[in-house]
Structures are given as structure tokens and as C-alpha cells.
Chain A
Amino acid sequence: MPRHDRLPQRNGFSAGEWIALAALGVLVACALAPALLAPVPPLAVNPAEAFTPPSLTHPFGTDDSGRDVLSRVIFGARDSLVIGAVATLLGLAAGIALGALAGGSRGRLLAPVRFIADRVIEALFAFPGLLLALLLITVWGPGTASIVVAVAISTAPGYARMVRGGVRQALGSGPVEAARLQGDRAARVWATLVLPEAMRPVLVLATLGVGHAVVLAAALGFLGLGSPPPAPEWGAMLNSGRPYLTKAWWITFFPGAMILAVGIATTVIGRALERERRFA
């Protein structure tokens, strides 16, 4: 009876989701071929035109050195998205490994492995993301590579938790039990049933994760820990615009808006993927 109460499920993406996908596509294009899309080079200094508000020639205005903000934002996409993507991939790899280890260690023999892996996951998760990244950067020194690895390690425990839960659930599920009863060996069970089932949410997580990684990397850039100026990194650009907030709001506004756009787009697409996966 209550089954009729559920709203009919849509198949395919809605209009908003296509827009989000398109927006992300544009940003990826900016990351891959910024020189093609940017009207002027991002480092081209032009003091005479400093602090011009958004106009037709400079849709996002110019900054304190007369550089075109739009071009810098476009070039900044590369930094942010590449850092976000690479950090997410690394974090995923580490998280999946750790989560599979924690979830798959069963029985008395492997109990210490499981105990330690569980505690490591929980301990890593206890550090707030930004703070863990800051600690690691303090240890290794600033720079893009540091940021990538720091963000990767910060995001890894979230993935580890999901994979751990997925592995545990899969190991106790009906198909695995049926396979064991059939006499299938453990390796086969893992390869054909446990890992595919535990990996199902990974695409969704990775999509959402890229958004978070971009924000985290931008925060680090904002604090001045990324590539040194005048590199067009969104977070650093945002920070550089703060002294001129009242007279030239656009220097701060547009880089931040881009970060927000990435965040919204990845969340929307991630949710759509989740919905499709659930009702496929």
C-alpha cells in the first residue's frame, strides 16, 4: 500500500542537472586549454587600467595591477581543478586501500589489523580537514605538491569510511553467503562480489570529493600556502583582492564565485549520479 506514496522516479537528468554538467564542462575546458579561451594573458600587467569595474572589454574587471580578472580566473581553473582532481584520485586510492583493509579483516587472526586500521581511520577523520592540511604543509613546506598531498590525506578518511562500510556490508550480504555456500574461493568472492559492491558509491563520492578538494585547496591558497603570486590561483586571487574590497569588489568576488560554482555543480551532478545508481 505505501508503495504508491512514493513519487514517480525520473529517469535521466533534469534541466538543472544538465546546466550543472555544462558548467562543469566549461570549467574543465578552461582547465585544459586556458590559452584558447582567455582573452588576454593572465600575467599581462597594465597599470593604466587598474581597478576598472566589469565592462565589455573586461567582463570581470581588472585587478590592482591592471590584469584582466576573467583571464586570470580562466587560468586559475587549471590550478584548482587539477589540484582537486589529482588530490581526489590520490585520496581515493589511499582511502579505498585503508577502507578495504579495515573492512575485510575478519576473524580472530586479523583482529589486530582490523583494530589498527579502524583506529587509524577514526583518528585521521578526527582531524578537521583544513587543520590536517595545515599541519602537513607546516611539515613539508608550502607549494603545489604539498597542497595536493595534504588535501589527499585530508580527504582519504572519508572515503575509507565509506569503503569500509561497503565492504563490511557486502561481506555479510546474501550474494556473498550464497557464493560461500557454493564453495567459491575467497579471492573469487572478493573480485566478483565484494569489491564491485563496495565500489558502487565511489563515483558519487569522487564527484562530491572533487568539489571539496577544490574548496580546501583554495583555502590553502587563500592563506598564501600555494604557488607564489602572481600565479592565478583562485584562493590567492581572492586574498589579494581583500584590501581593495570596497573599491574593487570584483577582484574578490569572481574567483570566489567560481569556487562556489564548482561546489554547486559537483554536488548537483553527484546527487544525480546517486539517484541514477540507486534506481538503475
Chain B
Amino acid sequence: MTWFIRLGSLLLAGVFLFAAVPKIVDPADFVKAIRNYRLSIGGRQPWWGWHAVALWLPWLEVLVGLCLLTGLWRRAALRIAAGLLLFFTGLGVYAIVTGLDISCGCFGKSGDGATRFLGTAKGLVAQDVPLLLLAAAVDLAVGRLERRRAAPARVVEPVGRAGGWA
């Protein structure tokens, strides 16, 4: 069980840290990637929030990656990771359904009309769904382990003491 938690956490940490660095280095490019999704709330694009998301989200990815790497606040990091992956998957599905020919912006590059499969919306869904399942599985495993550790040790009566035949 612990090897699965460690390996899963390590893999997720690697992905989140790898994804965050280019976005931190060039947030303006990440803004372009966000804009490309053309998300709208009530028919209007939430342009006022693009920069804030571009400045905040990569650091959230870094913190999630570091927590998963060190094991500190692992469950919180797993919950955020699962939430982010679910959100990214939703974005990918939205881009596919609306026919957007865009780069997913997963690793910071806005390079529109991406040719590499992993940089496309379909690639985003294909890589995020397994990662989402992994995050959920690791979270379940951590929960099970914590419950097992928290449970009081079962006292086993030695055979022969019960009954009072002595």
C-alpha cells in the first residue's frame, strides 16, 4: 500500500512541478493559453480574471507538487490535484465540443494550433483522465492507511485464560 502511495505521489508531483515552471517563467504566455479557451460567464468573457489565474495557478501547482513529494499535507494536496485535473479535463472536453483548435496550455506554451497530440485538447483529456484516476486512487489509499493507523489495536485474549477453569 505505501509503495503505491509513494509512487503515485511521486508521479503526480513530477507532472505538477513540470507543468508549473514554464508558466511561472512566462505568465504572459500562459494568459494567452487561458484566453484561447474563450470561456464565458453569462455570455461575457471573464477577462478580468485571466492575469490573476495565470499568476496564482502555477504556484498552486508547485505547492501541490512539493506536498506530494515530501508527504506533508498529502491529502490536501491530493484533493487539490484531483480538483485541478477534473477542471482541466472539463476544459479539454469543452474545447473538443466547441471545436477549438488550440494548444491546451498544459505546460505553459500557448502555441496555437498545436500539432503535437499531447499539446492538444484531446491530448489534455487523454493525459488528465488517468492522472485524475491516479489521484483519486492514491487519496483513497492514504485514507485507508490513516484509518488503519488510527484504529485502536485489537486485543486478542490468549487462549486458556477465558472460562476460569483453572
- A, B assembled together: no
